[in-house]
Amino acid sequence: MKNKYDYHAAVSKNSCLKPVPASPDKRGMLVAFFFSTLLLFFSGALSAQYIVDFEGTGETKTGYASGTVNLSSLDWDMTEALIGTSASDWKNGARSARMRGYGESAMTMLEDKTGGAGNVTFQYRRFGTDQQVAWRVEYSTDQGQTWTQLGNDFTAPASNDVQTFSEDVDTPDDIRIRISSVATTGADNRRLNIDDITITDFVAQGSPVISASPTTLNLDGYQEGSGPSTSGILSVSGEDMTGDISFSQVSNFEFSFDDVNFFPSLPDLEQFGGIIPNTEYFVRLQGGLTAGQYTEQLTLSSPGANDVVVTLSAEVTGVPQGLIISQHVETDSGTTPKGIELWNQTGASLDFSTHNLVILQGTNGNTPIPAVTISSGTLDDGEVMVVGTADIGTHLTAQGLGSVLFVPFNFTFNGNDALVIQLNGVVEDTFGEPGVDPGVAWEGNGVSTRDSNIQLICDITTGAPEGWSDPSIRFENVGGGQDLTGFGVPPQPCSAPQCSIDEVTFANVSACDLEDNSYTADITVTYTNDPGGNLVVNGQIFAVTSSPQTVELTLDSDGLDVDVEVSFALNPSCSFLSEALFTAPQACVIPEPECGNESFSNMGAGNSGSYLTYNYVGDDGYDITITDARNDQTINGRAATIRNGSATVQGAIGGIGDLTLTTQRKFAGGAGNLTVEVNGNPVGTIPYDATIQTTTISGINVPGTVNIEIINPNIGNDRVAIDDLIWTCFSAPGIQLSPISGNTDESGTTATFDVTLTEEPASDVVLTVTSGDITENTVAPSTLTFDASNWDIPQTVTVTGVPDGIIDGDQTTTITVAVDDAQSDPSYHGLFATIDVINEDIDACDEPVWEVVNITTNSSFNNGGAWTPIPGGFSANGFCGGGCQEDVDTWLVFGPLDLSSSTSLNLLFDASESFGTTDLTIQYSTDYALSPCPLWATWSGQTLLTDPGAIDIDLSGAAGQSGVYIGIAYTTDGSTGYSSWSLTNFEIVSDVCPTVGTPVVSDCTIPAPANNECADAQSLSVPAWP
């Protein structure tokens, strides 16, 4: 969120001041003064402008090295510059540009802004306390070919005052700018922060222009129950005006001229001689609002000018949730000790001066009333506080817990009195059942609220605002009513059971795969008390399921024994090593050699001017022998200078295709040629003279293991330095495919790959391109032709996804590129290459649109048990108070569905349940439209939902039919309590998505019969839904 800074504009002492009377309905409004000297103008209306505030998604750069960053949809080059986020960076928000201030430090647009430019504005300030250098702004209207300086050089002052650069450009041409240091040398940090770069559109002179800055004002919000927010500043001006500027009304923001007196709206801003000088307003979010994000548009209007819209935004955060009772003591003798421990699980520190804590007590089943109010002190997240009788405070001090927040209060509760914890009026937790007298205590499973010290069960970290009747669901015994063990110490998580991996076995070791020399093996891991997360087997990651778990490893074929090491990512110490568990199959593919590159950097220790014989291991691990040579000369680093000898690379695998060498004659002499031999046979010569030159001998083409020798015949007694010996591998004709650019999907998106040949052909080579499944992917073009002029120039194949209207998951298609032997060079006959592409399945059925049908509701304060919309779904809760037993019969209904082409139907959703044991019933009907009420429809395929979780209901019995309605019923008489159900993320899954028709409107009313004597004497009874 932007924190707007203050800036001050100097006013000439000769500036005229004109008072503007306050509107009569704005009592107490500070009289506004307008300066006739225009302090800051933007040439273009801000309804069309380019703004860089460095806050956008992906707008990051963490290093000074030159790089391209996309800022507000246009690419910029940032050299000796980064996007800073540190505390020393000045920034109007979370990020700003940091210019290094030496060398070629600059920010340069690589793309043009269209619409011309009226004005260029930005804010700047020194970084930290760095000394500063001069900077300049330039613009280009010819795509960066030439640059024109805008305004004068500028330098940030040696202070923390934020400065504004603002200059008019007034050009209708497309434009780009750059900001750079004036000096291009130096090595000291002279860092500068820049933010909020704005380039307005060009507006022809004479058109009215409204200027506002900023156009998005993000204010610091506040927490519910407090407010108003801190203020931000909005600056407004105008030029070439034909009328005043008026402001639209907003609902939740207010305005001021002095940051003291605030008003709900702004009066018109008057123009004088076509000019409205820069005027500052303070803007803030009103106080006392409920939690939520508040965003409104303030529109600035004037005759003939483009409207300017300023977005005002601030957030009111809710009262933290999670202050819970973690311990309770009720004495078994006398009146003390009595007290509670409260645990902060809100995720934030609590300040009771702004979030008053009220503890209410409901005595003997009466309505809870405030017992103690705490309006001072703080409680850090994860810490506890204690409220209770003085002897509990004495205990805390004796236990060395004097730093724990203790509030002395003489509680009078007994084991049958409920407690309610409120924070700023919001219920955080409840102890017992308000409004219910359980007798002497609430009890269950040996846990009692009377004469005992009880503590929260480990791993319970949320409150129970609606209360409970059985304390054992949340608490466990600590001791008797005089025992204070545990008070003042935050609850600890449950001790995790000891994880162990007990056995690792293998099965199904495959043969070596000729395509990539790999194989697979099934590894079965038996474990206990897993920590969840991922299972790591020989570095390969698998999601933990259940023991024993079998995973498939993919490994390289090498014929060696395989050690298998298993661990859990969340608990690496829980591991197991099985040495030589099985033997890998022998390799079936000989790795293609990489051939060689020798730099001569390992030629002897130190530098020697003597002519010696050198034997050493070269860069690629081959033995190198150099005779009658010295190592003290350089070309691109150390070079071998040969007088009357040679340099030999011995035993290079992979053969040789081409050879490249760099040479230079050292000392006096002439020009000549070095001889190159492979396996003792001359294959060409390399020229040399006094200059540095690099020469390639092509087409040597000797397969197998080779010895390469460079010989100086020394016809003219020349001493020749050689460097950077490079040779390629011997290769045979082949087809080479680049990796696929990505996946396709059924909407028709495309992916591409490139095709080249590996060797120059003697005649044309024609390749056919085919898709292994044209119902998933098509290819274009279908043929490619290569010859001696383009064999190594990539030709692109485009793969297109095909929609199939079937939910079949992502499908893999194999694309084959094969030689058409009849039209191709014989050396390429029979060759082909394949590549796989994934076509992503995007078929999805429409999201269900549910109708709420309430047959019977009760007196519950939760909408009578009716289904109520929540984000992503619906909730229902029929709880109507302790002891209440009233019928509830409420439904969610969706349809009609035409499933005549479908063979399956599943309803998926997420369900959560708390409190009671009310089961839900999910079913379908094919006659619902005839009598549109759940009471009268015929329901089939009933499924009883008893537990929460990720739910998958199989309704395939409805497949092949039309007019199908799905119903979810919350039906109970309250005898077993009332569950609170929340259902979200509904999804329909079918092999063929059903067509959704126009639903009938449900109506469960029974029309009154016509008035007649026979009917008057009759009565009608409707049975309750079972």
Residue-wise DSSP of 545-566? --SSEEEEEEEE--S-EEEEEE
Give mean pLDDT, residues 104-124.
Answer: 94
pLDDT of residue 1007: 60
Give me the CATH number covering residue 263: 2.60.40.1510
CA 590 from centre of chain:
43
Residue corresponding to tokens 């007034």: 170
Centre a 10 Å sphere on the Cβ of residue 446 and count the other Cβ atoms it contains.
Answer: 9
pLDDT in tens, 40-50: 333 333 336 89
Q: Per the domain annotation, does 1019 fall within a domain? A: no
CA dihedral over 272, 276, 279, 281, signed as positive or negative? positive
List residues bridging with 776 in a β-sheet: none
Query: Are the C-beta atoms of residues 280 and 186 closer than 8 Å to each other?
Result: no
Among the residue ranges 6-20, 462-476, 554-568, the one predicted with the least confidence is 6-20
From residue 1, alpha-carbon distances to 57, 217, 218, 286, 859 in Å are: 14, 9, 6, 18, 45
Statement: residue 1023 has pLDDT above 60: no
Split at pLDDT 50, 70, 90, the class of 38 is very low
How far is Cα 36 from Cα 16, in angstroms, rounded to an integer?
A: 6
The answer to whether residues 57 and 183 belong to one domain is yes
The answer to whether residues 290 and 238 belong to one domain is yes
pLDDT of residue 861: 75
Statement: residue 558 has pLDDT above 90: no
Task: Sort residue 88 into left (φ over 0), alpha (ψ -120 to 50) or beta.
Answer: alpha
pLDDT in tens, 129-165: 999 999 999 999 999 999 999 999 999 999 999 999 9
How far is Cα 327 from Cα 284, in angstroms, rounded to an integer?
A: 43
pLDDT of residue 11: 31
pLDDT in tens, 815-855: 999 999 999 998 899 899 999 999 988 767 878 999 999 99
pLDDT of residue 186: 75
Q: Per the domain annotation, does 574 fall within a domain? A: yes
Query: Are the C-beta atoms of residues 751 and 741 closer than 8 Å to each other?
Result: yes
**HSE-CB for 791 with a 13 A CA cutoff:** 18
The answer to whether residues 69 and 167 belong to one domain is yes
Give mean pLDDT, residues 244-273.
Answer: 94
How far is Cα 181 from Cα 105, in angstroms, rounded to an integer?
A: 6
Split at pLDDT 50, 70, 90, the class of 752 is very high
How far is Cα 11 from Cα 794, in angstroms, rounded to an integer?
A: 66
Query: Are the C-beta atoms of residues 667 and 719 closer than 8 Å to each other?
Result: yes
545 CB-near residues (< 8 Å, 6+ apart):
none
Domain boundary among 684, 703, 728: 728
The answer to whether residues 215 and 180 belong to one domain is no
pLDDT of residue 15: 30
Give mean pLDDT, residues 880-906.
Answer: 90
Query: Are the C-beta atoms of residues 383 and 401 closer than 8 Å to each other?
Result: no
Give mean pLDDT, residues 210-226.
Answer: 89
Q: Is the pLDDT higher at 715 or at 699?
A: 699
Centre a 10 Å sphere on the Cβ of residue 469 and count the other Cβ atoms it contains.
Answer: 14
The answer to whether residues 159 and 241 belong to one domain is no
Q: Per the domain annotation, does 1017 fall within a domain? A: no
Split at pLDDT 50, 70, 90, the class of 8 is very low
The answer to whether residues 987 and 866 belong to one domain is yes
The answer to whether residues 717 and 740 belong to one domain is no
Q: Per the domain annotation, does 591 fall within a domain? A: no
Segment holding 1015, helix H or strand E:
helix 1013-1016
| Burial of 259: CB neighbours in 10 Å, binned 0-12, 13-18, 19+ | middle
DSSP-based three-state secondary structure for 388: strand
Q: Per the domain annotation, does 128 fall within a domain? A: yes
Nearest to 143 by CA among 181, 178, 169, 99: 178
Give mean pLDDT, residues 734-755.
Answer: 90
The answer to whether residues 983 and 894 belong to one domain is yes
CA dihedral over 405, 410, 413, 415, signed as positive or negative? positive
Nearest to 792 by CA among 754, 845, 840: 754
Statement: residue 1 has pLDDT above 50: no
Give the mean pLDDT of the chain.
Answer: 88
pLDDT of residue 22: 33
Statement: residue 1011 has pLDDT above 80: no
pLDDT of residue 54: 95
The answer to whether residues 462 and 387 belong to one domain is yes
Domain boundary among 671, 701, 728: 728
User: What is the bridge-based pairing of β-strands 549-556 and 750-757?
Assistant: unpaired
Share of the chain above pLDDT 90, in %: 70
Nearest to 508 by CA among 492, 497, 496, 524: 524
The range of the structural domain enclosing residue 804 comes to: 735-840
The answer to whether residues 327 and 476 belong to one domain is yes
Statement: residue 882 has pLDDT above 80: no
Query: Are the C-beta atoms of residues 167 and 118 closer than 8 Å to each other?
Result: no
pLDDT of residue 177: 97
pLDDT in tens, 566-624: 999 888 889 999 999 999 887 765 444 468 999 999 998 778 888 899 999 999 999 99
Split at pLDDT 50, 70, 90, the class of 27 is very low
pLDDT of residue 733: 83
Query: Are the C-beta atoms of residues 950 and 985 closer than 8 Å to each other?
Result: no
Statement: residue 1019 has pLDDT above 60: no
The answer to whether residues 300 and 336 belong to one domain is no
Statement: residue 12 has pLDDT above 80: no
Segment holding 392, helix H or strand E:
helix 390-398
Q: What type of residue sits at position 770?
A: T
pLDDT in tens, 768-820: 999 999 999 999 999 999 999 999 999 999 999 998 777 777 899 999 999 99
Give mean pLDDT, residues 416-443.
Answer: 94
pLDDT in tens, 351-380: 998 889 999 999 999 999 999 999 999 999
The answer to whether residues 617 and 659 belong to one domain is yes
pLDDT of residue 605: 77
Full DSSP string of 188-229: S---EEEEEEEEEPP--TTS-EEEEE-SEEE---EETTS--P
User: What is the bridge-based pairing of β-strands 323-330 and 338-344?
Assistant: antiparallel
Q: Per the domain annotation, does 137 fall within a domain? A: yes
Cα dihedral value 911, 917, 919, 920, nearest 10: -40
Q: Per the domain annotation, does 187 fall within a domain? A: yes
How far is Cα 301 from Cα 268, in angstroms, rounded to an integer?
A: 10
Q: Per the domain annotation, does 1009 fall within a domain? A: no
List residues bridging with 269 in a β-sheet: 245
Q: What is the count of structural domains for the chain?
A: 7
Domain boundary among 809, 840, 871: 840
pLDDT of residue 204: 66
DSSP-based three-state secondary structure for 1014: helix
pLDDT in tens, 978-1009: 888 999 999 998 888 899 999 999 988 876 55
Statement: residue 1013 has pLDDT above 50: no
Give me the CATH number covering residue 775: 2.60.40.10
How far is Cα 112 from Cα 253, in angstroms, rounded to an integer?
A: 37
Structure tokens at 512: 């070596």
How far is Cα 19 from Cα 349, in angstroms, rounded to an integer?
A: 48
Task: Sort residue 143 into left (φ over 0), alpha (ψ -120 to 50) or beta.
Answer: left
pLDDT in tens, 262-294: 999 999 999 987 899 999 999 999 998 988 999
750-757: strand order across its sheet: 735-737, 750-757, 795-801, 777-780
Query: Are the C-beta atoms of residues 520 and 552 closer than 8 Å to each other?
Result: yes
Residue corresponding to tokens 């000045």: 90
Give mean pLDDT, residues 673-692.
Answer: 96
How far is Cα 668 from Cα 152, in angstroms, rounded to an integer?
A: 57
How far is Cα 678 from Cα 703, in angstroms, rounded to an integer?
A: 11
Give mean pLDDT, residues 739-751.
Answer: 90
Query: Are the C-beta atoms of residues 137 and 70 closer than 8 Å to each other?
Result: no
Split at pLDDT 50, 70, 90, the class of 31 is very low
Query: Are the C-beta atoms of residues 815 and 765 closer than 8 Å to each other?
Result: no
Give mean pLDDT, residues 895-903.
Answer: 92
Give me the CATH number covering residue 603: 2.60.120.260
